[in-house]
Amino acid sequence: MEPLQTVQTGKKGTWQAVWLGSSGGFAVGTRDSEILFFKRNADGYFLADTLPSAHSKTVRTLSHTVHGGQSYLACGSFDSFVSVWREESDGRWCSVAGLDGHDSEVKCVSWSPESYKEKLLATCGRDKTVWVWLLRDSLPECVGLLAEHTQDVKWVGWRPGAVPALFSCGYDNTVRVWHEVDEEWCSGGIVCSFSTTVWAVSFHSTGKYFVCVTGGVLRFFHEAHGPWEEFAVVEAHTRDAYSVCWSGVLNGDTSYIASCGDDNRIQVCSFDTNREIKLHATIACGSAVTSVQWAEDSLLACLEDGTVKVLGLNTPGRDASIKPK
C-alpha cells in the first residue's frame, strides 16, 4: 500500500470517513457533532466545508449515494437522529430530512446499491432495532421496523445484486438477514452466530461471499446451495477489529479486503477466484483506526486521533498524482 496523504481534521475523535462518489472528495463525522467535507486539488485534500450543527452529539456514521443524478449523504448520531443531506448545484449540502425513530445512539446507516430498483436506507442502533426507509421524492419514509436483535446492532448493510437483502450484526454475536416479502420487511433468520460481538460485515462485489469481523478475526462465508458456510478464518488483529471493507475486483480477478481496529493497524488481504486469501499489507497507525472504505484502488481510513489516511494500492497504472505527505 502506498501512503498518499495524511489529512489533519483538527478534531479529537473522528468515527467514520466516507468517499463522496466521483467527486473524489470525502466526508468525516466528528465527536463534537460536526460533518467535515474535504475536496481534492493538485496539492492534495483540503477542508472545503463544515456543517457545524447537524447534530447535538457525536456523528457516528455516514453513508453516501447518488440517486436521480443527485448526491445524498445520510448521517447517524449518538443523539438518536439520522440526518439526510443533498448536494446542490453550487456544491452546498442542504438538509433534506431528519429521521426520528431510534430511541438511542445510531450506530450505522447504509444506502442500498444502484442495482436495486428502489433507493433504500437502512439504519440501526443501540436500541436493538433496524429501520428501513424508502427514498421517495427526495424524502425518506419508513417501510420497515425490525426488532429481532437482542443487543445493540453495530452494523447494517446491503447485499449486492438485483434482489434486496439486508444484513445486520451486533452485540448479540449474530449476523442476521432480512427480506422484503409482499411489500413487508421480515426476518430471514440468523445467518451465523459466534461467541463474541460481530462488529461489521462486507460483501464481495458479486454478492457470493461476505466477510465479518468478530474480535480480531476475519471470517469468510460463501453461499453453498442455500445456507451460508464458513470457508476461511484469518487472525488479522490482536484486538477488536471495528470495520471491514471489500473492494471491487481489481487486477483481473483479485479483490482486496481492508480491516482495522483497536490494535492501531490496517490489514489488507487479497482474494482471488480460487478463494485464496493472502496478506497484502500491514499499515501501522498512531491510534485506533475506526473505519476503512475503498473507492476503486484507493483506501480511506479514519483514525480516532482525528487524522484521515488516504492510501493507494501498488498497482500498475494507478493515479499517483497526489504526492505522499
Q: What is the CATH number of the domain that holds 242?
A: 2.130.10.10
What's residue 322's pLDDT? 34
Domain assignment present for 170: yes
Helix, strand, coil distribution of the chain in percent, nearest 5: 0, 60, 40
26 domain-assigned: yes
Give Cβ neighbours of residue 159 (< 8 Å, ≥ 6 apart): 165, 166, 167, 177, 203, 207, 210
Query: CA-CA distances (angstroms) from residue 37 to 7, 30, 86, 87, 93?
Result: 12, 11, 13, 11, 10
What the block records as the C-alpha cell of 196 is 463474541
**What are the grid coordinates assigned to 100, written together?**
426520528
Domain count, the chain: 1
Q: Quickly tell me which residue has 448520531 as its cell.
A: 77
Residue 42 CA: distances (Å) to CA of 4, 90, 301, 323 = 12, 21, 21, 9
> Rounded CA gap, 79 and 56, in Å?
6
Supply the pLDDT for residue 315: 60
Q: What is residue 21's three-state secondary structure?
A: helix
Answer yes or no: are the C-beta atoms of 200 and 154 closer than 8 Å.
Answer: yes
Q: Is residue 275 part of a domain?
A: yes
Q: Which domain holds residue 109?
A: 2-312
CA distance 197 to 217: 11
Q: Determine contact, residues 230/271, Cβ cutoff 8 Å.
A: no
Instruction: Quote the CA–CA distance of 124 and 212 in Å, as a whole number.
Output: 17
**According to the model, what pLDDT value does residue 323 have?**
31
Q: Is residue 53 part of a domain?
A: yes
Cβ neighbours of residue 282 under 8 Å, at least 6 residues apart? 265, 266, 267, 268
pLDDT at res. 113: 95
* Grid cell of 297 as nine digits: 484502488
- Is residue 7 a part of any domain in this protein? yes
Residue 325 domain-assigned? no
DSSP letters spanning 173-193: SEEEEEEEETTEEEEEEEEEE
Assess if residue 78 is contained within a domain: yes
Could you say which residues of the chain have pLDDT below 70? 315-325
CB 37 within 8 A of CB 23: no
Angle at 285 between CA 279 and CA 286, to 5 degrees: 160
The predicted pLDDT at position 252 comes to 81
- CA dist., res. 104 & res. 110, Å (int): 18
pTM of the model: 0.93
Cα-Cα-Cα-Cα torsion 59, 60, 66, 70, nearest 10 degrees, comes to: -10
Q: Is residue 317 part of a domain?
A: no
Q: What is the reported pLDDT for 321? A: 36
User: How high is the pLDDT of residue 324?
Assistant: 31
